Each structure stands twice: as structure tokens, then as C-alpha cells.
Structure 1
Amino acid sequence: MRDSLDMMSRERTLLVILLLILLHHISANKDHQEHLCPPSSCGFITNITYPFRLQGDPENCGDERYELGCQNNVTVLYLNFTQYHIQAINYDNYTVRVVDPALQHHNCSSLPLRSLSRSNFSDTYTDSADLYQAGLYLYQIWGYLSFEHIVFLNCNHSVRENGKYVESGECMKWDSKGYSYVVSGDLKAEDLEVGCDVKLVAPTSFRTFNKDSYAAIHRALAYGFEISWINLACQNHCPTKFCYFDSFRQNFVCYRVGGALYTNFVYFSC
């Protein structure tokens, strides 16, 4: 009896493995067909391919949800009904780096047109259905965000004694009677000085910069920030649709559903 049960268990395990392999090959074949399209280009972005497509590309190329624009020889990505200029696309780790078009490298007074933070990406607090994610994990692991925040504040008195607050000098004045500051990284409740208001929050993926210098902070903003399409990649490569990207192995780690928890890992190279 035990031998019979063991054999049935092995058969079920083998069937699951074969099913995973079959689904993976089906998705890989789909990707291959979409990759048959030659890359498109716009300006200095010359490697536009699946899942992206340019407006005007053949219908079978790329995913229409990830359609990019080309305006004045600049590649444009649309995020939250806002245009961002693409600086680079990395197909190895499924990220795209973008920058707010209002930011100018040599103009320290230039700022993003609107605030953008982790709260604008649903993967930081729930299962993501968005086209783009704030990191390469889908389980609200905030330590693995692909960018950090730059917080702009206006205070009604000087807070120079707080080392986290960097004066913007003549570059930025929110109020003629106020004091303008910027803080790199997350601003915790205990760090918010009395009499200070948050005016703008913006992301940057430039990690190594002098956080005590407004000029360096502004250059980091002008570098741009990365977002990922890890959710789509997981759907294409993982039968369970749940995974994260292992940057060391350069592959996906797919979660196998076991009861209410995600247990065991299945590795798929990409």
C-alpha cells in the first residue's frame, strides 16, 4: 500500500514538473515570436524591443500597453498620465531609467513637474497590477526599491542644526519669507521639523552622491530613476505568475504555491 502511495506521489510530482516546463516553453516561444521584430530606435535609445514598441511599429511587435513615443528625437514613456524621457533600457534586469523632462542638468532651480514616490506604485503595498513596478520584488519589500526619495521642504524658521536638512541656497525659494531645504532618503515622522512643510517628493536611482550638497542632490535627480516591468516578466516566465529577479544569478526565482504560502523556488534562466 505504501509503495503504491509513494508511486502516486512521484507521478504527481513528475506531472507538475512537466507542466511547469511545458508552460515555460510556451511562454518562451511567445517571447521568441515577439522578438523576431527588429529593434526600433529614437534618438540615442536604439534598442527598443519587446515588451516595448514605438508608435507606428507593426502591430505584432511588442506589447501595445508598453508603447513609447518619439518626440523631437526623444524617447518618451507615459507613467501616471505624465511623460518621462527615457535615458536607458536594461533588458538584463528588466528596468528602464527615465527622467522628468523639466529637470535640467545645469539649472539647479529646475524641478520635476510633479511629485512621484513609492506610494504611486501599487507593488509597494499590494500585489501589483500596474504596468511598472518600483522594484524587482513583488512582495512589498521596501528595501529593494529601485530608487530613493528626495524630499523638498519649506520651513518658517531655520533648521540648520538638523544635519539631514540641506539648504538649497539661491537655487530654490518656495516662499520669500521661508527657508528651503532638501532631504535625501525617506523622511520619517520624527525627522519632520515643526514649522516645515513638504513641497515636493521626487525619486532618483543615483545612489552614490554627496547628500550634504544641494548641487550633488540636484545632479542625482537629473540622472533619473529606474522602474521595472518585473510583473510582466513574471507572467511570461513563471506558471504561478509570482517571482522575483535574482540579480546575482541573472534569472527569475518563481514561487510555487503551497497552501496559503509561497514556498519552494523554481529557477528559470532568461
Structure 2
Amino acid sequence: MNETNIHTFLISLNLCIFCVIILSKRSSCADYRYEACTPSNCGNGPNISFPFYISGQRESYCGYPRFNLICNHNGFPVLNLRGDDFVVEDIFYQTKSLRVSDPAFSSLNSSAGCVPRITVNTTLPGLRYEFVGNVTTLHLFSNCTNSSLSEGRLRYCNAEDRNDWVLPLYENSENFTNALESCGRNVVVPVEEHVEDENLGRGSVVEVLRRGFVLNWTVNDCSECTSSGGRCGFNETTYHFWCFCPDRPHALSCKSHKKWSMLMLAIAISGSLILILLCLSISFIIWQRKKRIKSAFHISRAKSNVDGGSFYFGIPVFSYTELEKATNSFDSSKELGDGGFGTVYYGKLPDGREVAIKRLYEHNYKRVQQFMNEIKILTCLRHRNLVSLYGCTSRSSRELLLVYEYIPNGTVAEHLHGEGSNGSPITWAHRMNIAIETATALAYLHKSDIIHRDVKTNNILLDNNFVVKVADFGLSRLCPNDVSHVSTAPQGTPGYVDPEYHQCYQLTDKSDVYSFGVVLIELISSMPAVDISRHRHEINLANLALNRIQRCAFDELIDPSLGYKSDPDVARMTTSVAELAFRCLQLEKDMRPSMDEVLEILKDIQNCEGFKFDEKIKEANDNDNYSVHGKSICSPETDDAVLLSGKKFQPSPNAVTDVWISSSSITSSVG
């Protein structure tokens, strides 16, 4: 069927559907009260049907007398009980009950620690509603003269007088009798009591008031009418229950004596639906075919490179069956962790090699692109401090898999503040080597015009000799040497992402320098990059470090277990590394050193070439308009005040704690 014939067929089909719909409407003229009493809502909250109705939206015969609701400005239904309005949180039609709450309390925040001013008791009309469940009364005492009643009291929200407070007590509370005698005002509020509410704290009182209580209503049962296809209503003339049906109102339920009329209606509706579905199916098939052709083109282009395997990339291509066997069918006990865009498993190849196998999370175009990106990066790089890629699966494989060398000693993050930190901490000598070897790997990447984009301690692996292997290149980007930056959406891990990158969407090698600065702080402090248990302005380790270094409060930053206070050499080196990290963490990228400079400075710190290192720092600081003391960092007489005394630096912005538009990397044990 060509495109012209399809269009002609669709036009004819639409005309047929129009005719059938007109005929079906003529044969199905429903009773106006049946049409008028459809369920409604206020925008938020539950659907409203008999015995309730919304005034102004539905006729009064759609509900029971005095069961009318109104919609408040927040889009929730409101029930009036003896002059008091209550927000209807939920309605349970099967049990004939509803949950309501005082509007003064329903918008409260549990952390607010205050309550609105209530001046009248809450009472219920006894004929229509009754309390359900563990409903009890909470007394709100105020104007109390006894000073012993200060425990547990709450302030009134927006109260101008600091002594204007309220004391919430249950009737079985210890101080209840005392409060009755010494308090000038007592307002009674019904609440739903839970076991955990026995000891009223500020948050729990607000939560109890906000939660409201459950009521039962007592009107005629409507289930027989609704089960017969009708809608419940009320005869305002005879004051009796009515069941509104498509043909007319009935006493209890809808009748089925007009079988022929209903059969014709069913045929008309079924025919309309069949024609509509046929039309939609043809349109969907056309759209799906175009989409499939386009998607297949992109996926095949991406996968064709993998299929080229050994010829295109120069690495072996493994079969899915071989890798499935190596991981014992991807047994969960073989999981090493998560690596960026896939789960990593431990495996053993038939030739005896231990490997780490990354299994792609999702089989879509974006994930395939990340898969391809890591292959391209790793196959063109060879360095002792970069993880080695052994191979991958082909395009015909059931799943896309990457095979890496297995690094047995975990990540730096695990040793600093994970499971590995519970044993003997990493010595300062090892930490210094980790910093130098990581800087060596990053400097090598930058010379190859590659920006890692996800430098963090979770992506720095260690072998049994504590030799560094930098991993996870799924987010890495190639930055040609004839351009200053690459524009791209921010990606990476919160706590490590360059704030300027987040603001300008421009990726440079200085973005890796910032992330490495965070790694340096982790190495000297043993603190994680992000810790929500710290003060809100120091959740990011970068912010904490900048603050401590500017104040020369190194003893509050450097891990005492490294020997900062007992070993002068460790004190000098850790202080020097802190100064270097401070430069790496500057907000403006032009104020940060290059990775080559960072590497050279780290080597000087390790070798304690004091004069040489001091000259380099001084030269760099002069160029960047910095000011430092004239003493050598490695000289014996140097004190902690060697850092940065003459310039006000830009602190690390809060932007790194904002919401991220990223596929945030996750802790990995490999590639």
C-alpha cells in the first residue's frame, strides 16, 4: 500500500467513524441525571461521588442533603461541620469513611516546630458522622501560670510575643490535671492516636495535628446501584434514595429489560472502537516503521565498530557464552561494583587470566555510545597507571560486555573511607605515591588530548602493591589540541565536578585538575568528597578544605593518624599538598595549574627539594597574583603559616551541591 492509497483510506475511514458515532449517539440518549452525576474532583484529593457532591460542579440531587463539598484555593475538597471547615484528605467508599484534617494544620511542616492559633473546640454533628478507630482528644493549653509546664510546649506560628505558647497534652498525660487548674485557655481537638505518638515531641505534635482523623458517615448503601451500572442520587421531592440509570431513575438498581436497545448500543460502540483501532493501528505501523529504520541505522553504525573487533580496535572479541561461563552466569556473588554505565563482575577466562567484566545497564543508543567511547579511549592508550582493556563482545552478542584486567586491591575510596578503612589506614608514603601516579596518568591523558571528566577516588584502583590504575572512561572526551574547550552538558560525580564547568558548559583539562584537587584533599584528610552529616556549607569537601587552608587550620583538615603532629616530614609534605590542592580548587580555571605542573610539584614535595619547590610555587603565585611566605615548605623551620597570606581567594561555589543534569558515576572496582 503506497502513501497516497494510505491517505485515501484514512480519509474514508474517518468519514465512516463520524457516521457511526452520530448513529451511536442517537441510539444512546442517556437520562440527563445519569449524565450529570459523573464523579468529579477539585483537581487534588480524591474523586467525589455519592453521597458527596461538589457545590457548583454537580447538581444537589447527585448527593445526600448536607453532604455538599466545596473546593478550596489549593484544589482540595472541603467539608463543613457545624460551621468549621475540614480538608478532605481521602474518601474510602467501601468502608463509608473519610479522612479529614483542619486546614490550619494540613499545610504544616513537621519541622516547623509551631502550631497555628485555634480558639474553638472541634465538634461533630452526631446524626451524620462519627469518629472511627483510635480517635482521641488533644488539649491545647495556653495562658498557663505554672512555670513547671514549660516542657513540651510549642510556640504559636507568627506569634509576636515570645511568651505566647501552647502546651499540647492528652487526657492521660502526667501534667493534664495541673494544666486544667493553671491554664487560662483549653481548646479540644480530635486526633488519631498512634503508638509512636505517646511521647509528644515538637515534630510528633505537628504530625498528629496535620494527620487529622477518620470519620464514618451514615447514609443508604449505594453498592447495589453502582454494581448494576447506575449512579447513586437523591430524590429531593420524596427524600428517598434514587439510582440514576442510562434510561431513567430506578428505586434501587438499573433494570435490563431493554435488551435490544442495549444490544444496538453495544454494536454501535464496538463498531466505532474497531474502526478507530484500525485507523490508529495503521498510523502506528507507519510511524513505527520509520522510527525502526532510523533507530536501526544509528544502532548498527555504533555496533558495527564493535563487530569489527580485532581489525578495527586491535583487541580480541569474546563470545557472550565464554564470558557468561567465566562469571558463573553473572552470579550476584561475583559482582565487584558499578562502573559508570554497567555492573562489573569478577571472572576467570579459560586461559587462567583473572578479569573484570563490565555488563551494560541498558541496550539503547546512548549506552552503546558510552560503550564505544570507552573502547576507543582505552585501545589508543597504553600506560602503567591506566587500567588495560583485554577485549569486548561483538554486535551479534546478546549483550555488550567489556573485559578488563582485574585489579584485586579495590579502590582508593574503599581504603580511605570504605570497608578497607577499618583495618590499617594507608600510610602517608603510599598516599603520596597514589597522588603522584594518579597525576602521572592524568597528565598522560591530557597530552593525548583526552579529558577524563570523572576523576574521583572511586575510579582510582590499586593492585596488591598499591600501584594506581585509573579507570572508567565512559564519560571521557577527546579535546582536539587546536581548541581551548569542548562544550557539553555537565556530567560527573557531585563533589568532584568543576563549578565553572557546571556554569559555562565548557570542558577543559582544568576540569580534571579541579577534580584531582578534591582527591588530594581526600588523601590528606581521609574524609569523603560529599558528606551530608557535615555542616551545610561544608557538605562538599572542597568548601571545607578551602576554609581550613585559608585559616591555616591544617590540624582540623589533615588526618592525625598520618603523623601530622608527631612527624615533621609528614607535616611539611601534607601542608604542601594542601597548598597545591588549594590552587587546584580555585573557582576560575585560569588560576589552576596544569596537570604537568601538579605532577612536577608533587614529585618535588616527595623528594623534599625545598628550594626548588619553593621557587616553583613562588613563580606560579607571582604569575597568578598570589602571595606566599618566603620560607621553603620543606625547610625545618617552616611552620603551618606558610600558605597564602596575602590574597582573598574565591571560595568553592555552592553550585557543586545543586541538582545535577548528569548520569552520575557510581562507585566502581574496575573500568
TM-score norm. by structure 1 comes to 0.55
Distance 1:76 1:174, change over 3 A: same
Structure 2 matches for 1:8-47, cutoff 5 A? 37-47=37-47
The reply to whether residue 207 of structure 1 matches residue 194 of structure 2 is: yes
Q: Where in structure 2 are the equivalents of 1:1-270 lying within 5 Å?
A: 37-55=37-55, 56-72=57-73, 73-103=75-105, 104-106=107-109, 107-111=112-116, 113-117=118-122, 120-121=123-124, 128-129=126-127, 131-135=128-132, 147-154=135-142, 155-160=144-149, 166-168=152-154, 180-185=166-171, 191-193=177-179, 194-210=181-197, 211-229=199-217, 231-233=218-220
The CA distance in 2 between the partners of 1:224 and 1:114, in whole Å, is: 17
Inter-partner Cα distance in structure 1 for 2:160 and 2:182:
14
Deviations 1:129-166 (A, max 9, x none): 3x22234xxxxxxxx6x5222211132122359xxx63
Aligned partners of 1:112, 1:228: CA distance in 2, in Å? 27
Using a 3 Å threshold, how does the CA distance of structure 1 residues 112 and 171 change in structure 2: closer, same or farther? closer
Whether the 8 Å CA contact 2:149–2:175 is kept in 1: the answer is no
Q: CA RMSD in A?
A: 3.7
**Residue aligned with 1:102, SS:** helix
SS of aligned partner of 1:197? strand
CA spacing shift, 1:53–1:112, aligned 2, 3 Å: farther
**How far apart, in 1, do the equivalents of 2:60 and 2:166 lie?**
49
Paired residue secondary structure (1:40): coil
Return closer, same or farther for 1:88/1:170 CA change in 2, 3 Å cut-off.
closer
Residue 49 of structure 1 and its aligned partner are, at CA, apart by 1.0
- Per the normalisation by structure 2, the TM-score is 0.24
User: Residues 50 and 109 of structure 1: is their aligned pair in 2 closer, same or farther, counting only changes over 3 Å?
Assistant: same
Amino acid at match of 1:111: P
Could you say if the C-alpha distance between residues 111 and 71 of structure 1 is closer, same or farther in structure 2, counting changes exceeding 3 Å? same
In structure 2, C-alpha distance between the alignment counterparts of 1:81 and 1:170, rounded to whole Å: 23
Say whether the 8 Å CA contact 1:182–1:214 is kept in structure 2: no
Deviation at 1:113, TM superposition (A): 3.9
- SS of the aligned residue for 2:208 comes to helix
User: Higher relative contact order at CA 8 Å, sep ≥6: structure 1 or structure 2?
Assistant: 1
Report % sequence identity: 20
Give the structure with the higher percent helix: 2
Structure 1 contact 101–112 (Cα < 8 Å) conserved? no
3-state SS in 1 of match to 2:88: strand
- Count matched residues: 183
Q: 1:116 to 1:97 in 2, by over 3 A?
A: farther
Compared CA separation, residues 150 and 173, structure 1 to 2 (3 A): farther
| Larger-gyration structure (1/2) | 2
In structure 1, how many angstroms separate the alpha carbons of the residues matched to 2:71 and 2:119?
22
Which letter does structure 2 place at the counterpart of 1:39? P
- Kept in 1, the 8 Å contact 2:114–2:154? The answer is no
> Alpha-carbon deviations, 1:203-224, whole Å to 9, x = none?
2225244333122111110111
Alpha-carbon distance between aligned partners in 2 of 1:216 and 1:190, rounded to the nearest angstrom? 18
2:309 matched to which residue of 1?
Answer: none
